[in-house]
Amino acid sequence: MPIKIFHTADLHIGMKFNNYPELIKSKLQEARLEVLPKMLSIANEENCNLFVVAGDLFHNIKGINKKTIVQTAQYMEEFQGECVLILPGNHDYNNDKIDFWDTFKNSIGDKTIFLDREAPVSLTDYGLDVTIYPAPCHSKHSDTNNIGWIGEQEVAPGHINIGIAHGSLQGISPDIESSYFFMTSQELENLPMDLWLLGHTHVVYPVYEAIKDWKIFNPGTPEPDGLDCRHNGHAWLINVDDNKRITANMVSTGCYRFLDESYTIADSDDLDRLKTILLKEKPENTIARIHLAGRVSEDTYSYCKEVCKTMEQTLAYLIIDDFNLGIKITPEKINQEFTEGSFPQQLLKALADDEDAMQMAYELIMGVRK
């Protein structure tokens, strides 16, 4: 029978965001939890049979309050399809030593399955000709992945056989020392799975909005989580037909967006363009860090301060690095700033033919003054 799957991972509910002020920090924390009911709603609208979280539903197994754990479990009951599958990742691993997951399991309903053991899980009791082969994490780090046991299994005949794993993927994940359950695409392809649903890497893979006849999927994080996260948050909607042919569509899921950009400023037009870029798309949900550089007139420098103030008041949060932005030094400005015949005036005028040297000397002199 054909099935439709909503595939997500790396929600990291409970992430602290301690580098941000209290107001925006609390909003970012809330967004990581609230993206879950948003995705469940999309899955219900799309009539999905399975809702899959391929690891790191939570950010860690310590320090998350019981209320958040219970709320997360209760959200799963909103899914109208056949069942929800939850795999422990390397952040919320299950080592049977902490009662964190006991709280979660005691709060979930009958249609939520916790995949914490290396054993096939048949979904025939849920009316689906599907068998799941989980590769859960039992620690934060490992120099070996947890998919090897699957190659020793006889796959279920007539079923759609789905592997669910959490770990880094060669060529996609930044895992130089191969310490995060490292996998290669070839390893995955060699195992007798019809489909692989991965988690761990916070970028989407493959990088197509729609794709067919593909076997390995990673959804990335559904809610952007920092200035190095350059996407809006994604998940996968995956269809498997009667002949086990796969089609998939990327789904946009995030609320906040993070921008970390550098801009060279020459005049007020550049500032207007910068303001347009930052304010054009949900500015109230945009966290930005901007690096400004250039030498500008005093009028443009003053206008820059006005523009930055406007953006600070409009954006969710703005960090401004204007260390490399300064006022352009001209002979007129030198005469305004320094007494005729003074050493600073003579020095700067002597450097007039070398604009960079004159600018540097001016800034050194002003630094000494301060």
> Are 145 and 79 members of one domain?
yes
Q: Is the pLDDT of residue 359 over 80?
A: no
Per the structure, the count of domains in the chain is 3
Task: Tell me what the mean pLDDT of segment 62-66 comes to.
Answer: 89
> Are 237 and 299 members of one domain?
no
Q: Is the pLDDT of residue 355 over 80?
A: no
pLDDT of residue 177: 85
> Are 188 and 334 members of one domain?
no
The answer to whether residues 5 and 49 touch, using CB atoms and an 8 Å cutoff, is: yes
Q: By residue range, what is the domain housing residue 367?
A: 330-370
Query: Distance between CA atoms of 98 and 339, rounded to whole angstroms?
Result: 73
| pTM, full prediction | 0.90
> Are 30 and 102 members of one domain?
yes
Share of the chain above pLDDT 90, in %: 79
Task: Tell me what the mean pLDDT of segment 217-225 comes to.
Answer: 97
Q: Amino acid identity of 238? A: I
Query: Distance between CA atoms of 98 and 345, rounded to whole angstroms?
Result: 71
User: Residue 320: which pLDDT band, with cuts at 50, 70 and 90?
Assistant: very high
| Residues 130-170: tens digit of each pLDDT | 999 999 999 999 999 999 999 999 998 899 999 999 999 99
Q: Of 230, 252, 274, which residue sits at a domain end? A: 252
Q: Is the pLDDT of residue 245 over 80?
A: yes
pLDDT of residue 219: 98
Query: Which CATH number goes with the domain that contains 93?
Result: 3.60.21.10
> Are 338 and 296 members of one domain?
no
User: Residue 4: which pLDDT band, with cuts at 50, 70 and 90?
Assistant: very high
> Are 156 and 92 members of one domain?
yes
Query: Which CATH number goes with the domain that contains 281?
Result: 3.30.110
Query: Distance between CA atoms of 149 and 138, rounded to whole angstroms?
Result: 15
User: Residue 62: which pLDDT band, with cuts at 50, 70 and 90?
Assistant: confident
Across all residues in the chain, what is the average pLDDT? 94
| Residues 5-37: tens digit of each pLDDT | 999 999 999 999 999 999 999 999 999 999 999
Nearest to 362 by CA among 341, 337, 342: 337
pLDDT of residue 348: 81
More confident residue, 298 or 133: 133
| Residues 69-126: tens digit of each pLDDT | 999 999 999 999 999 999 999 999 998 888 889 999 999 999 999 999 999 999 999 9
> Are 90 and 118 members of one domain?
yes
